[in-house]
Structure 1
Amino acid sequence: MGDIIINVNISSTGPVCGGKCCGRIRETQLRDVLKKMMEDRAVSATRPIAELLLATRRTLQDHLTALSHQSQNKTSVLFLQLYRVHASRAKAPLAALYDDIRILLRSDSEHDITSVEIISSPPKDLAASTRKFFRDVFPVAYQNVLKLDAKQFTPEYEACLQDAYDAVKPFGEVPQQLGSSLSRSLEAARVLLQVLAVGANALTASEQVLMSSNEECQNKLLRAGGCPHCRGLEVRLCQNYCLNIARGCIGSLVAELEAPWAGYVEGVERMARADADAALRALDARVSEAIMHALENHAMLEKKVRQECGSPTTIDISGLTAPTPTPGAARRDALRAPPPDTELLQFAATLAASKKIFSSLADKLCDEPDFANEGNSECWNGESVGEYTKSLVASASISDQKYNPEITAGSKQDLRVAALGDKLRQARQLLVSHSWGSAPAAEAFMQGDEAGDEGSGSGRSYTDDDAAYDAEGSGEEGSGEEDVGSRTYVHEDNSYSSTEKTSTAATKSRPLLPVTFAVAVFARLVSCLT
């Protein structure tokens, strides 16, 4: 970095430091540098957590979305195996069900992530979507029960079958059970995705609060970090002096977020994460189970249908032939998207360690050895080099600032902080409301080192085949390609990476100013003429 050259008149002493090296203009420059340095040190503690929340959100969303496409393809292969010439008639109901799943998973993803709000109602009712899917598939399944490969029901008879669905219950209790499971699991996943964005948004918004120190604090920062240099002294701040300034001028701005943030982190830790993954993996098996129920109970099913709709009326479709399966389409291999357990466990450990991020923020500002002394003797105490004898304020909380010997102006909570705290509390309540089971079981979500013997805390086990789902068996009707609406998804390779290795910030990053560089800037600004 090139030399910083500042040509100013230093003949008049500054109003704050009064040293021979600094005039009014140079003090203003030093104050600006110190303010930015403190802000950047504070932001460097919060921004990585915000980026981690958004990266984890993308990992989960990408994983579950990819898993839904693979599950849809796998279920399409099941229909091709069972229904042959009639399999294409199940394509639209199947696509509608999985479209609803993906709409739920991507809710809010197209909006500005920095302004996401907590929404309580899901965009889709998956229990209703599941019921509609089985109702629409019922005529195709009943043709299979009657072995009418060369015939098709008339439109009127199909309409009667669909109207009689609730009375006949052709698939037993499977549709209701599956709908309940999908609704509960995917809605919990949606809430988690949404709440991760809310947490990142809160941290990003706290950056703006950290940049709003008042004039008194800006002068206090100048006296603490700049005045020694203005007086030609190469000395560091006394530890307690640094802490009093940092707690009163930086930490107190966001200290009231401590409790809401800790509650938010605990809420995320409580959320069960295994269910959405497991529900999608099991979906084709549950559909197969429903179809087998209809086949195994065909005698009772036929009796009920005749009572509701009479004898079947059909039309001849003998000219149709079943589509030729592509190589590998006869297999329904294991889904190839392994759950991102490693990434989530790393996320869990990092997030758990951030519970006290706001209360410890001020103290971290004084941890830089090039800036603050380790003790309170032979250091800069705000007036001279010596001992700092004033009492240390207990914490950065607003209530403690009235006992801070370095702060004279009264502190009050920023309305922005109050709003952020309310949003974090709402997020926690939403997370807890979508957790289920006993407390120990619910805390299976991302427990880090306490996640159990296997480290995942999910209670799940996967065979080696889970990563072996190849392109031959991945596509719709075995092709590896799936058309959903106007979008086409092609699964070309045999591996799936569900996480982005490089995180991006929720907002455009400001360059952070290292303390060591700031000290060099101070030296350049306040070098005395000898």
Structure 2
Amino acid sequence: MFCPCTLSKMKQSLCMLLVLMGCYVTVTRGDGLGCERTARAFANLHLPVLDIPQTDISGDHLEICSGPRTCCTEAMELQLSELSRRQLDDAVQRTVGEVADDLGSQGSNFDEFFRGMMNESRASLDAMFKKTYGVLYERNAHVFTDLFKQLELYYATGSRDLVDVMNEFFTVLYKRMFTVLNAQHTFDDKYLQCVATHMEGLKPFRDVPAKLTQQLKRSFVATRTLVQSLHTGHEVVNRLKTVTVTPSCGRAMTKMAQCGTCSGMPRVKPCHGLCLNVAKGCLAYHSMLNNHWHEFIDGVSDLVTRLEGPFNIESVVNPINVKISYAIMNFQDNGFDVSRKIFEGCGEPKLRRRRQAGGDAPSYDAPDFKRVQLQTYSDSGMDAEPSPLLRVLGQIRSRVRPLKTFWYDLPGQLCNDRDLAAPPARIVNCWNGTAKYRYEHAVTKDGPEALSANPEVPFDPLYTNSDVNEAILDLKRATMRLRDAYNGQTVTWEQPESSSDAHGVPLEAGSGSGDGAGYDVDAEMDDDDYEGLEGSGGRVADYGDYDDEPTGDGDFGRGADLDNDYGNNLDNTVDFETVDDTNRLPDSTAGGGLPSGAHRPRMSFARAVTILVCPTLVAWIGTFI
């Protein structure tokens, strides 16, 4: 008989024998690596491989996922390698594409706002001038229509110098007004050419052309540069959505993402550190954009600040009707002296023959002058509703600033995808490239030297990526333009940037607005000629003039001092009164409608008579033209 102790030992030995036999049966059936899980993974991935081993086989024949035992053949490894490349490409396209779309959307939104603002300004000028000047305006409306067309042409193509555009406009307006004011005379083209040569010396519109030209130049250059820069950023990012997978990157991706499938562990996610090293190695050339991208984003943000303040395009375009009307009033004030000096310089013109009584002289009805409302902004500080421009610019800033570290953060963004890697907190029980354990290597830092020591994807400094190099050049050019526009300088578009905006109008290369022939718009400005526009706090000053000279040399962006000496010179109306059927221009005492500076001199008797009587005389003479 066996003692109880002996029976207990026999039972233990028998149990161990049964366990060993079960393990042997499992191995002989090929379930040691879980090849059925590998087969299910291939089926779920819809990979066209039919010769999946039923049992694990030797892995010495594999190039990437080699090991003592495997569930993959060479054909399966090739399929998994191609799959891993597609996974990387899809992940990059998804993440980078969102940024590209966002930049493009911001550019389109700003473009849509600008075009709407121009249409509203054109309609406002047309309505105001019809009420103010009646038939005289309607006969010469194409002069003002052409001005808006030229401004929009510059915005769309950059093909004209804005100084030349404004010089041309005021020259045409000057000759038309001179002809109307001297309607008793006849003038041929030669005489009118002589009239034009005296414009700069006589300054018939006083300083309005110089001020308006400077405001338009700075604001339009900044506006076009911002839109073009957002377009450039969109193109740069969009071009880099597709990753050029190098051989070393392809091997590392396969090892990280798919070798676990060959080991029967398709559901085990790669360790987060392994994913970061692989992603940094595969995107090493993209990281070369970092510094240039930082400067570009800073440039966009700083130009947005300029457009919110001293280069506010809304404050120039919206009240352009008042500014031009003020120029016309100046000409009427000194029209007699201007005409006398021109007659002295160009010769006495011929008198026009009188028309017979009862002729076909056109009739003229004096317009019914009313108060013309102008859009302005409240002076109530933080409680004021921000203008449409400030809302659009605020949205651009909020979307662009977080993108400053985008290329630094891209590997981390990719690896935060649960489909690509395990969470950062799971440091064990993740796929480390060869087994389910922990990833032993440190995460590689940024920079060429650190990337050269990447344990997964070594960086080859001799290899160049043409797409990245081209993107760097584009960012450098865009940053230089942003800097010039920020400083109020000329912006030149050296190379065609063929693209279409959301409205189908090409935004392509041309010469930027500059300091070309014509008025020296900076030299003619006094220090207190212009007043700025407040860009923060939701308030913009009313349509006053301003002069905020940029630093111009090196203070671009970081810590540059924007002169926020803001002021309000206009109320929300311009009063057009009816005085004995007189066609009276808006005067500086009517509702505060015209900029006058800190000191408003008393109007002389002669000026008052001119303002009250001259428009009626002009309108009456105009009926005989």
Q: Root-mean-square deviation (CA), in Å?
A: 3.5
Aligned pair partner of 2:257 in 225, 228, 242: 225
SS state at 2:408 partner: coil
* Higher normalized helix content (fraction of residues): 1
In the other structure, the counterpart of 1:8 is 50
CA contact (8 A) 1:172 1:293 kept: yes
CA contact (8 A) 2:299 2:483 kept: yes
- 2:361 matched to 1:319? yes
**Cα distance, 1:186 vs structure 2:** 1.0
Mapped partners of 2:194, 2:364: distance in 1:
26
TM-score by length of 1: 0.72
C-alpha distance in structure 2 between counterparts of 1:312 and 1:176, whole Å: 33
Partner residue of 1:259? Answer: 291
Match of 1:295 in 2: 332
3-state SS of 2:403 partner = coil
| Contact kept in structure 2, 1:247 and 1:362, CA below 8 Å | yes
Judging changes above 3 Å, is the alpha-carbon distance between structure 1 residues 454 and 330 closer, same or farther for their aligned structure 2 residues? closer
Q: CA deviation at 1:192?
A: 1.8
Structure-2 residue corresponding to 1:364:
413
Partners of 2:105 and 2:371 in 1: CA distance: 34
Deviations 1:380-428 (A, max 9, x none): 1111111222232113x33212221223463544233122112202211
Measure the CA separation in 2 of the matches of 1:367 and 1:460: 50
Calculate percent identity across the aligned residue pairs: 20
- Is the counterpart of residue 454 in structure 1 residue 538 in structure 2? yes
Based on CA coordinates, which of the two structures has the bigger radius of gyration? Answer: 2
- Does the aligned pair in 2 maintain the 1:237–1:379 contact within 8 Å? yes
CA distance in 2 between counterparts of 1:306 and 1:80 reads: 31
What's the offset of the Cα at 1:298?
3.9
Structure 1 residues 315-464: aligned runs within 5 Å: 319-322=361-364, 332-334=372-374, 339-370=388-419, 371-374=421-424, 375-395=426-446, 397-408=447-458, 410-411=460-461, 412-436=463-487, 452-454=536-538
Which of the pair has the greater relative contact order for Cα pairs under 8 Å at 6+ separation?
Answer: 1
Unaligned runs of 5+ in 1: 108-121, 438-450, 467-530
Q: Deviations over 1:485-525 (max 9, x none)?
A: xxxxxxxxxxxxxxxxxxxxxxxxxxxxxxxxxxxxxxxxx
Equivalent residue runs for 1:47-446 within 5 Å: 47-107=97-157, 122-142=158-178, 145=181, 153-155=186-188, 158-208=192-242, 210=243, 212-233=244-265, 234-249=267-282, 251-271=283-303, 272-274=306-308, 275-309=312-346, 310=348, 313-314=351-352, 319-322=361-364, 332-334=372-374, 339-370=388-419, 371-374=421-424, 375-395=426-446, 397-408=447-458, 410-411=460-461, 412-436=463-487
Task: Quickly say closer, same or farther: Cα 1:198–1:315, change in 2 above 3 A.
Answer: farther
Measure the CA separation in 2 of the matches of 1:386 and 1:62. 55
Q: Structure 1's 418 and 78: CA in aligned 2 closer, same or farther, altered over 3 A?
A: same
Tell me the equivalent position of 2:14: none
Residues 422 and 382 of structure 1, relative CA distance in 2, 3 Å threshold: same
Paired residues of 1:224 and 1:237 also in contact (CA < 8 A): yes
Distance 1:244 1:320 in 2: 84
Using the TM superposition, give the Cα deviation of residue 257 of structure 1 relative to its aligned residue in structure 2, in angstroms.
Answer: 0.5
How high is the TM-score relative to the length of structure 2? 0.62
**Which secondary structure does the structure 2 equivalent of 1:134 belong to?**
helix
Quickly say closer, same or farther: Cα 1:315–1:8, change in 2 above 3 A.
farther
Q: Report the Cα offset of residue 454 of structure 1.
A: 2.8
Aligned-pair CA distance for 1:82: 4.2
1:35 equivalent to 2:85? Answer yes
Superposed CA deviations along residues 425-474 of structure 1, whole A, max 9, x for unmatched, are 2211110111138xxxxxxxxxxxxx7433999979999989xxxxxxxx
CA–CA distance in structure 1, aligned partners of residues 45 and 70 of structure 2: 22
Per-residue CA deviations over 1:136-182 (Å, capped at 9, x if unaligned) read: 11243346656x6xx67544565553343233321111112212221
Give, in whole Å, the separation in 1 of the partners of 2:375 and 2:230: 26
Question: Is the 1:46–1:357 contact (alpha carbons within 8 Å) kept by the matching residues of 2?
Answer: no
The residue type equivalent to 1:91 in the other structure is: A
Tell me which moved more, 98-107 or 69-78.
69-78
Query: What is the DSSP-based 3-state SS (H/G/I as helix, E as strand, rest coil) of the residue aligned with 2:134?
Result: helix
> Shift of the alpha carbon at 1:265?
0.2
For residues 571 and 417 of structure 2, the distance between their equivalents in structure 1, rounded to whole angstroms, comes to: 48
Q: How does 1:495-510 map to 2 (within 5 A)?
A: none
Q: Deviations over 1:224-252 (max 9, x none)?
A: 11111221113221221221111112x21
Cα deviation for residue 311 of structure 1 reads 5.9
Q: How far has the Cα of 1:81 moved from its partner?
A: 3.6
SS of the aligned residue for 1:359 comes to helix
Aligned partners of 1:49 and 1:324: how far apart in 2?
58
Does the C-alpha gap of structure 1 residues 3 and 316 become closer, same or farther in structure 2, counting only changes over 3 Å?
Answer: farther
